[in-house]
Structure 1
Amino acid sequence: MIIKLSSENYQVAIDTLGAELKSFTDPSGREFIWNADPAYWNGSSPLLFPTIGNVRNGRTIIEGISREMPQHGFCKSSQFSVSGQSENEVTFSLTDSDATHPIYPYAFKLCLTYRLCGNHLQMTCQVFNRDSRTMYYHIGAHPGFMCPLEEGEAFTDYILEFEKDEHLNATVYDLKNCCFSSGTHRLYAEKGRTISLAPELFNDDAIFFEHTDSNVVRLLNPASGKGVAVDYTDFVSVAFWTPLGGAPFLCVEPWNGSAIYDDEDDIFTHKRNIQSLEPGADAVYELGISLIGY
């Protein structure tokens, strides 16, 4: 079921399947979210939980048991319930069930709230540990943005611009062994804040920065100054991805966690940037999407 929100003639649409953002349009009807065309990628903005990326051979050890774990976890294929809704705000929730226990044994609850205020969309994800033991997880977002946004533009007209100067040294993904290579990096800037987009940048899959000093990154055309800003203050890492073949979109992915590294074992709690919650505790993660010049 699709839930629609509106504010000042801006509109968003979210699917109860995965609580996934499917559309964000401005007053002119311009679309900013990738349309999930399976010719390139059948997602638009999945929530990543309780894992990010892949685990080795599709399995990970949780509470002493080897468990099959889908790439990016199970939220994207789970039906969320609507627990509150107004004209410009909606909250979705998902709790553990017989379907999740074989994959992820913890008793949990996820609440994902979308709040639209004009050209700004705020996403708030709250994770609750309903279990009697410490709960471990990764959490991340995967919004895909149309790129280019305007007719007559090209993907290569756009840049990524961080709010601060960064040592932009990305960890390289080893496509042959399906893992990040802890000792292999690609330098994009010794000290800078922009990356000019080109399809070949993604020949090795995602561009992944394990840590940035910035909390905001912008996808924009410097000639017009228009684009999209993503505020990922509550996330340690950020990745960027588009599939090969000239896909007209770019994903900006804030992560707390990552796919498997070559130097990690298969025990879930040993994964990088693992999050933990004591029994009865909760944690909140905020993500903001703002349209620039629209």
Structure 2
Amino acid sequence: MPDTLATMTTTQRFQDQDLLKIGQNDDYLLLAPEHGGRLVRWVHRGEDILYWPASADWSRLSKVRGGNPLLFPFIGRHFVDGEVGKWQDEESVVHALPQHGFARDLSFLISDISDDAVSLSLASSDATRAGYPFEFVFTVTYRLVAAGLEVTLRTANTGTRPLPYYAGHHFYFALPHGDRSRSHITLPAASRMRQRQDGSLTDAEPGEADYALDDPRLQDTFHVLKAPGEVTVTLPARTIEITAPDAAHSVPWYAVTTWTEREDSDFYCVEPWLGLPNAVDHRQGLRWIAAGSEESAVCTLTIR
């Protein structure tokens, strides 16, 4: 942590860990910069919006189901000739890279902080170049706003050649599993797709405007957006609206993914993604940033 920021930080003890706290009273965030920049808790008006397990294994935090893991440089599983965990670059060189990339396994630095916002950054290093030979700075900014939370993912290409990427979120929203049938998600116009075991994609199916969260068609499904629009998650306890600004302020989100782990899991994941898994191969959602350039993807989560 830079010395100039060290005196500005507030920590809170949680599960025997000193976590970075942003906000105050009943509206605050708890984050773990050294554990993948993970957002662990988001408390809004005294209530936890995100799920976090009571017995989280902090020795393997990247595997913990909860909070908001950051997915970078690639989302999901990638394949080369059917072998998972591999990807092939433009020069036909094959690289090893874990599912969802490496960001959730590495330590982030606090690059900016205030009473209601924080920016956490991950820069290219020997730990990243082995599986992703590009120069970058990947930054997440969390900003508390009156009715919720604004999140920005900014990717800067600090190298001399174009950088391929597709990043995203993995929001674990708190929801008792017995309430799924009474909960809904409303989506803008979208097509449904899934990933097959070999990394290929299923054919696109017409999507619905509204689903109950116990609908099996939602499980591990990519809702490929035909145009920008609001995603609304209506739960018994609250409504969460996920919106993005116009194209002048953010690159477009490519898809929203819906997933939960088991029938008795007390969370449901709604995940804005910039691309689809294995896009580095099939190109659906693959983004390129020119040398010396950067771009940002913004979303706002409003609680009603």
Measured against the shorter chain, the TM-score band is: 0.7 to 0.9
Partner of 1:93: 121
Shift of 1:270: 5.1
User: For each residue in 1:140-194, what CA deviation from the matched residue of structure 2 results, as whole angstroms up to 9, or x when unmatched?
Assistant: 1111101149xxx7121100023x5x3x5411333xx2534332x45553xxx21
* Counterpart code for 1:33: L
Runs of 5+ consecutive residues of structure 2 not aligned to the other structure? 1-17, 58-62, 246-251
2:67 to 23, 44, 56: 44
Query: Are the structure 2 counterparts of residues 276 and 188 from structure 1 closer, same or farther at C-alpha, using a change threshold of 3 Å?
Result: closer
Shift of 1:276: 0.8
Identity %, equivalent residues? 22
Partner of 2:28: 11
SS in 2 for 1:179: coil
Preserved CA contact (<8 Å) 1:7 1:118: no
Partner of 2:151: 123
Count of aligned pairs between the two proteins: 269
Preserved CA contact (<8 Å) 1:10 1:118: no
- Richer in helix (by share): 2
Partner of 1:194: 210
Partner of 1:265: none
- Richer in strand (by share): 1
Runs of 5+ consecutive residues of structure 1 not aligned to the other structure? 262-267
Write the distance in 2 (CA, Å) between the matches of 1:173 and 1:248: 24
Write the distance in 2 (CA, Å) between the matches of 1:213 and 1:134: 26
Write the distance in 2 (CA, Å) between the matches of 1:244 and 1:210: 24
Matching of residue 181 in structure 1 with residue 201 in structure 2: yes
SS in 2 for 1:210: strand
Query: Are the structure 2 counterparts of residues 180 and 65 from structure 1 closer, same or farther at C-alpha, using a change threshold of 3 Å?
Result: closer
User: For each residue in 1:110-166, what CA deviation from the matched residue of structure 2 results, as whole angstroms up to 9, or x when unmatched?
Assistant: 1211110233111112111111111111111111101149xxx7121100023x5x3
Preserved CA contact (<8 Å) 1:137 1:274: yes
Could you tell me the TM-score, scaled by structure 2's length?
0.80
Partner of 1:59: 86
Write the distance in 1 (CA, Å) between the matches of 2:198 and 2:229: 28
User: For each residue in 1:221-266, what CA deviation from the matched residue of structure 2 results, as whole angstroms up to 9, or x when unmatched?
Assistant: 3x77x321112453121111111232111111111111137xxxxx
Write the distance in 1 (CA, Å) between the matches of 2:175 and 2:44: 16
